[in-house]
Structure 1
Amino acid sequence: MRFDAPVLLYGAGREAQSTRAFLQARQPDLPVFITVDSGTADISGTIPIKPAELVDAIAHRRFGTIVKSPGVSRYKPIFELAREAGIPVTSNLNLWGATYRQGRTVIAITGTKGKSTTATLTHLMLVKSGVDAGLAGNVGLAPLEAADRNSVVIFELSSYQTADMNFLPDLAAVTNLYPEHVDWHGSVERYYADKLNLIDRDGSFAVALGAAARGNALVAKAVRDHRRLVRQLDADESAAIEAAVARSRLRGAHNLDNARLAAEIALATGATLDGVLAGIAAFAPLPHRLEEHRFGDLVFVDDSISTTPEATKAALAAYQGRRLALIAGGHEREQDYADLAARLATAGVITLICLPVTGTRLAEAARAAAPAVEVIEAPNLEHAMTALAERRQRFDTVILSPGAPSYNQFKNFEERGNRFVALARASFGP
């Protein structure tokens, strides 16, 4: 595809950088503007526009297309203003669809949690089966970086990306559905609709559902025609996968569910059972997802990627039988912590450290629902680790599983996880 007028990049992250490279390779003389709501717009070869100048820029049609980064909400009023002016708003993913979709098999995987693990497993299973498959989206490459490298492309997609995805996959999968990202979408209802936009549309594509998604009425309605659903595993396949997971580095019942879903997707798109089992064996935990470190005689689990209470519950379940110290809390997204609080004592949590700002609500709920659990409210991660160092005889495992985003105190979950590991090493190492 070609652009007849300048392009505006809204955002300056990894996808914006790959969009710039894509445009530079195809139309080196095309003017490219860039705007960011915060931080620095430091992509070379672009012309900065301040957010306050966008209304005037739209009125004077300084650009003909806006390519929005996923982290920028599509519900910002400026995008409606652009559409009213006849300026389309698109994405890196949709540019990939317009340029490279034809002639390829596309597997698109979403869900509130588990999508990265499921997509990674699906990719491994297909590759181990000899299928020419690539991995893109939030794991692997940015969509436009994936370009036309592989005949099968697995996209791991957030609700930010499924909300306006404008091409159909050959197979779409949903792991589960819980409230998240309310600040970006504006409401829980809109989050659900944007997430399920992946499957809630016309087309003959196949659909695979995770165990938690199968029992969800909203998901069932979005499937529309249940003849779309791929076949579930038979008893022998399920037993073989369960045995392979038990020997692998996948922890917890939720990861067994992820492996089963990945197997259904892979088998429906050309994998062999031997390849599926080899893919499970080859799996390595993703960074900051139940990533284990040992310092002294304690295990430290970096689950910083956990941004929902459901993810924290899954992390606790993966360490059943341990004496646990849990660090939780982060950026406010109006999520309900009552059920998590009720499960703390039976999950083996001895000490709960609550971080701002959601930690305040979690601490209140925990004191009411689990009075035997020691609850400490800490202003930051440094204070949390100091408090744990003073109590190191009480537990054998420390889990950072915040159940909330990181943005109030950290740039992203990676920075939060890295800081946790560094503090653990300093306080409990070598």
Structure 2
Amino acid sequence: MNNKLNEFKAYIKNKKVAVLGIGVSNIPLIKYLYSLGVDITAFDKCCKDDLCCVSDQFKGLDIKYSLGDGYLKNLKGFDIVFRTPGMRYDLPEIVAAKEKGAKITSEMEVFFEVCPAQIFAVTGSDGKTTTSTLIYKMLKKQGYNCWLGGNIGTPLLSKIDEIQKTDKVVLELSSFQLHTMTKSPEIAVVTNLSPNHLDFHKSMDEYVSAKKNIFNFQSKEDRLILNFDNDITKEFEKEAKGKVFYFSRLKQPDKGAGLKDGCIFYKDGDREIEVVDTKSIAIPGVHNVENYLAAICAVIDYVDVKTIQKVAKEFKGVEHRLEFVGEKNGVLFYNDSIASSPTRTIAGLLSFEQKVILIAGGYDKNIPYDKMGAHIAKKVKSMFLIGQTADKIHNSLKDEIEGTGKGKDVFVCKCESLEEAVKKAYDSAECGDIIIMSPASASFDMFKSFDERGKKFKQFVKDILNH
């Protein structure tokens, strides 16, 4: 019996509840809360016409709405407010509601309070989704009943009645979700940290501080897994509450996973295990070796080495992450739409031995692009730029040319749309070339999400393949 869940259900019944945001991820939350006998109002800045497909999901349910411009002005008189992750907790309307007695929370905060199962959680600037998926695949292949959620998969609070104490829950957590968390998972992984989401966070310090909540509330028996090769995450050991394990491509940590002679080894004191040969890992790229190192640290006490080896051979990757789309006339197309930061795009470029044709650019998150220039000069044959960050990316190359003289031969073309960029990239390509869309930017200037951007890219490529 899940006593904490029963207490939550009793507490929330008949309460006046506001849910801020009626996006796809909040639909299951709204339905679940309604099933608990809650007086619920859904808030969204979109108008009713824009939400017609969403509102169809709530037919027959007595749900109130506050929509359109100024929708938060009606945030008064509520007992509980569920904040969507992409909304800052310190908005004046939310602060005012809290001052008048409302409890401000989120789907993930409540989930941590009531979840009976062991939680594995992953955060970081890059590699979160692949690492989370690897942990999930390894545990599932071992025979555990597993759940994958957070930033990916299903909003798990709506599934909480099905989750048992013996299950394993794997969560990908963003800085948005972690910002206000007051509980941490039993097993926490931080893949790496670099400037990101500085359009949302007030500073890099605030961004890093949010990420630390993944371990700030751990007990001494919990496990924290850190990237030893990242200057920021390496220092987290000083603030750790639980047991710290490292992963590294550059050395073999005394406690954790490292590389030796092309194999991943795990070491903990006198215990040393050869886990998997990196040549057998199906997904390409050094960054994916790092993802395996992190995942192995998380599951090593729960999963057999043979299970890890099977996953390495069978797992072909997650959609939009260096995803092979197709080939025409000897030209290969790859979709790396998940790459919403320069560090992610750099990792993608380094995954290929040859110079590539790069499609990049998008929404500006106010993050620096200065490190891209050197990698563009070394790994890019031609570059087709779109969106708000086109000039920033181009300027990084110009600075490299001015500073070192390298990169003068890189052809640069600015395009009005992704479709134009794909067509021009293909027209410029020769047999044997690789075209990769790896934007180094978020998608919101042209698309609703990286998922939509990736699917559009694949459609434009398929139009070429079928022509």
What amino acid sits opposite 1:34 in the alignment?
Answer: A
Residue in 2 that maps onto 1:195 = 211
Residue in 2 that maps onto 1:383 = 420
Could you tell me whether the CA contact under 8 Å between 1:299 and 1:397 is conserved in 2?
Answer: yes
Cα distance in 2 between the residues matched to 1:352 and 1:394: 17
Q: 1:266 aligns with which of 299, 318, 325?
A: 299
The count of corresponding residues between Structure 1 and Structure 2 is 418
* 1:9-408 matches, cutoff 5 A: 9-27=19-37, 30-38=38-46, 39-40=50-51, 42=55, 44=58, 45=61, 46-50=63-67, 52-58=70-76, 61=77, 63-99=78-114, 101-102=115-116, 104-147=117-160, 148-150=162-164, 151-201=167-217, 203-204=219-220, 205-213=222-230, 216=233, 218-223=235-240, 227-229=243-245, 231-233=255-257, 238=265, 240-243=274-277, 245-268=278-301, 270-296=302-328, 297-321=330-354, 323-347=355-379, 349-369=380-400, 370-393=407-430, 396-408=433-445
Offset, 1:428: 4.6
1:46-94: CA deviation from partner (whole Å, max 9, x where unpaired): 2111362533541xx1x21111222223332222122111111111112
What amino acid sits opposite 2:300 in the alignment?
Answer: L
Q: Do the aligned partners of residues 33 and 419 (structure 1) sit closer, same or farther apart at CA in structure 2, a change above 3 Å counting?
A: same
What amino acid sits opposite 2:412 in the alignment?
Answer: V
Which stretch of structure 1 is more off in the superposition, 307-316 or 10-19?
A: 10-19
Q: Do the aligned partners of residues 208 and 125 (structure 1) sit closer, same or farther apart at CA in structure 2, a change above 3 Å counting?
A: same
Q: Which protein has greater RCO, CA pairs closer than 8 Å, 6+ apart?
A: 1
Cα distance in 1 between the residues matched to 2:399 and 2:411: 12
Cα distance in 1 between the residues matched to 2:391 and 2:234: 32
Offset, 1:237: 5.3
Cα distance in 2 between the residues matched to 1:357 and 1:84: 38
Cα distance in 1 between the residues matched to 2:292 and 2:182: 28
Could you tell me whether the CA contact under 8 Å between 1:252 and 1:315 is conserved in 2?
Answer: yes
Counterpart of 2:412 in 1: which secondary structure?
strand
Counterpart of 1:407 in 2: which secondary structure?
coil
Q: Do the aligned partners of residues 405 and 280 (structure 1) sit closer, same or farther apart at CA in structure 2, a change above 3 Å counting?
A: same
Gaps of 5+ in 2: 1-7, 247-254, 266-272, 401-406
What amino acid sits opposite 2:17 in the alignment?
Answer: V
Offset, 1:332: 0.7
TM-score, structure 2 normalization: 0.84
Cα distance in 2 between the residues matched to 1:395 and 1:401: 19
1:195-223: CA deviation from partner (whole Å, max 9, x where unpaired): 12111345322101134447645534442
TM-score, structure 1 normalization: 0.90
Q: Do the aligned partners of residues 222 and 283 (structure 1) sit closer, same or farther apart at CA in structure 2, a change above 3 Å counting?
A: farther
Q: Do the aligned partners of residues 216 and 233 (structure 1) sit closer, same or farther apart at CA in structure 2, a change above 3 Å counting?
A: closer
Cα distance in 2 between the residues matched to 1:388 and 1:202: 49
1:249-303: CA deviation from partner (whole Å, max 9, x where unpaired): 21111100110110110013x1121122222223131111111022312111100
Offset, 1:167: 2.2
1:29-59: CA deviation from partner (whole Å, max 9, x where unpaired): x22101112352625132111362533541x
Could you tell me whether the CA contact under 8 Å between 1:134 and 1:146 is conserved in 2?
Answer: no
Cα distance in 2 between the residues matched to 1:114 and 1:56: 39
Counterpart of 1:124 in 2: which secondary structure?
helix
Which stretch of structure 1 is more off in the superposition, 130-139 or 47-56?
A: 47-56
Cα distance in 2 between the residues matched to 1:202 and 1:248: 32
Could you tell me whether the CA contact under 8 Å between 1:110 and 1:173 is conserved in 2?
Answer: yes
Q: Do the aligned partners of residues 222 and 378 (structure 1) sit closer, same or farther apart at CA in structure 2, a change above 3 Å counting?
A: farther
**Bigger fraction of residues in strand:** 2
What amino acid sits opposite 1:406 in the alignment?
Answer: S
Residue in 2 that maps onto 1:5 = 15
Q: Do the aligned partners of residues 414 and 12 (structure 1) sit closer, same or farther apart at CA in structure 2, a change above 3 Å counting?
A: same
Could you tell me whether the CA contact under 8 Å between 1:107 and 1:154 is conserved in 2?
Answer: yes
Q: Do the aligned partners of residues 80 and 298 (structure 1) sit closer, same or farther apart at CA in structure 2, a change above 3 Å counting?
A: same
Cα distance in 1 between the residues matched to 2:183 and 2:23: 23
What amino acid sits opposite 1:54 in the alignment?
Answer: L
1:83-137: CA deviation from partner (whole Å, max 9, x where unpaired): 11111111111222233x23x2111111111111111111111122223322221
What amino acid sits opposite 2:41 in the alignment?
Answer: F
Q: Do the aligned partners of residues 313 and 57 (structure 1) sit closer, same or farther apart at CA in structure 2, a change above 3 Å counting?
A: closer
Q: Do the aligned partners of residues 379 and 241 (structure 1) sit closer, same or farther apart at CA in structure 2, a change above 3 Å counting?
A: farther
Could you tell me whether the CA contact under 8 Å between 1:177 and 1:212 is conserved in 2?
Answer: no
